[in-house]
Amino acid sequence: MRKSRHDTAGTRERIVQAAATQFRQHGIAATGLADLMGAAGMTHGGFYKHFVSKEQVIQEAAAYALAERGHAFEAYAQAQPPGTELAALVRAYLSMDHYNNPGAGCLMAALGSEMARASEATRALASAQFLAFVGLIERFLGPQHDHDRHGRAMAMASALVGALTLARVAPDPALARQILDSARTHILASWA
Amino acid sequence: MRKSRHDTAGTRERIVQAAATQFRQHGIAATGLADLMGAAGMTHGGFYKHFVSKEQVIQEAAAYALAERGHAFEAYAQAQPPGTELAALVRAYLSMDHYNNPGAGCLMAALGSEMARASEATRALASAQFLAFVGLIERFLGPQHDHDRHGRAMAMASALVGALTLARVAPDPALARQILDSARTHILASWA
DNA sequence: TGTACATCAGTGAACGCGCGTTCACTGATGTAC
DNA sequence: TGTACATCAGTGAACGCGCGTTCACTGATGTAC
């Protein structure tokens, strides 16, 4: 059942997207190729018509998730009234909506410790997009912060990722909320 | 080859300690029972003389790692000149030594995103020890911070865990160092 | 204290299972004329 | 534009392998007398 070139490209994209979601939801090691292909609406045998290995889809899914989130955060910030972009970004990142949807959210928060053990190519990719996110924060830092803007943005990004990760560990939703709220309050009060 | 009760208790402890190290180094899903028993100096068959399942050793290893780190951080802080405890704690947490030794370091930084998908019992255990760590920070916060000390301590803990996790993702050691340094500088300047 | 027997920690082979990967097959798509 | 044939996306069975788990066996330890 050969498919048209257009359909083939679409299928490949669906696999990458499904992988990006499944990996963030269940972890990379815990997601099998059969799960992944099932989520894309296919059987597992077809996988190797699009990728040479699981490693390749890990890299492409990570790149997709990171780029997609990067663009979404940037568009969201740009859409805010001038001067409020950073506060809005922090609120969105630490929102219950983000907390509840790891499969569509920040890759670093969903897979941070697993990414630390990924291949060098994947880690390079993730770090580059992390720096892009830091750059986005830096751009919206108030002009009163003229010293070490880059470092301040890095610290903020670290706090955001850490808070969301830790909130998701808490089995008690009230504690999760408290972690997110505390991070939001103190990041905005001291660093924004 | 039956062992004495004393030897048996020692063996069990060695398995838990080996598991705590192996899990933090290579991830929980990626560590097989054979790896784990090998690291404890035994063959895999003996595992079930001590534990009913892998899940049980995950919980005990997590509890062990969290408690051991908690005690070590507390002892380290107590040993500092009064007034400098928190700064010393932050420096130690974000040190290259901690960065280079995930197997002996903070469980949340080494396994944060994997812990978010662990069993409820394991997550409860991890969250409780996280709160103990937050309490330690809170105790050493300067008296000038009389408002929302708990929330401030939570935000600090989040930033610490996030920075170490992200530093370990960076394949470039210079970038890793920059992430740790930025977090240290800004956490100490604004929050300590 | 010494002897006889039950217990059980640890070994290493084996179990079923799901993993990543390969392959023969299919039939619709793409290409050549 | 129509026809004949080559291509190849997707299916589903099969591969070897390592996983978590079980088990028969061993011999030193613990217990009973």
DSSP code for A81: P
Q: Determine if strand C comes within 7 Å of the CB of A3.
A: yes
The per-residue DSSP string of A96-119 comes to HHHHH-GGGS-HHHHHHHHHTTS-
Give me the pLDDT at residue B136, please: 98
Contact B104/A at CB under 8 A: no
Check pLDDT > 90 for residue A142. no
Between positions 71 and 90 of A, the ones with CB within 8 A of B are none
Of chain A, the percentage scoring pLDDT greater than 90 comes to 92
Give me the pLDDT at residue A82, please: 96
Q: Where are the beta strands (DSSP E) in chain B?
A: none
Give me the pLDDT at residue B187, please: 97
Q: Do B109 and A113 touch (CB under 8 A)?
A: yes
Give me the pLDDT at residue A192, please: 84
The per-residue DSSP string of A8-62 comes to HHHHHHHHHHHHHHHHHHH-STT--HHHHHHHTTS-GGGGGGT-S-HHHHHHHHH
Work out the minimum CA distance from A8 to partner chain B, whole angstroms. Answer: 33
Contact A58/B at CB under 8 A: no
Give me the pLDDT at residue B113, please: 97
Tokens representing residue A76 in the block = 């969201």
Q: How far apart are CA A107 and CA A125, in angstroms?
A: 12
Check pLDDT > 80 for residue A145. no
Q: Which residues have CB under 8 Å from B3's CB, separation 6+? A: B11
Confidence of residue A2 (pLDDT cuts 50, 70, 90): confident
Residues B145, A174, B156, CA angle at the centre, nearest 5°? 35
CB atoms closer than 10 angstroms to residue B38: 14
Tens-digit pLDDT string for chain B (192 aa): 789 788 899 999 999 999 999 999 999 999 999 999 999 999 999 999 999 999 999 999 999 999 999 999 999 999 999 999 999 999 999 999 999 999 999 999 999 999 999 999 999 999 999 999 999 999 999 888 778 999 999 999 999 999 999 999 999 999 999 999 999 999 999 998
Q: What is the pLDDT of residues A44-92, one digit of tens each?
A: 999 999 999 999 999 999 999 999 999 999 999 999 999 999 999 999 9
Task: Name the pTM for this structure.
Answer: 0.96
- In the complex, which nucleotide's C1' lies nearest to the CA atom of residue A30? C19
Confidence of residue A18 (pLDDT cuts 50, 70, 90): very high
Closest CA to B112 of B130, B138, B99, B95: B130
Give me the pLDDT at residue B142, please: 86
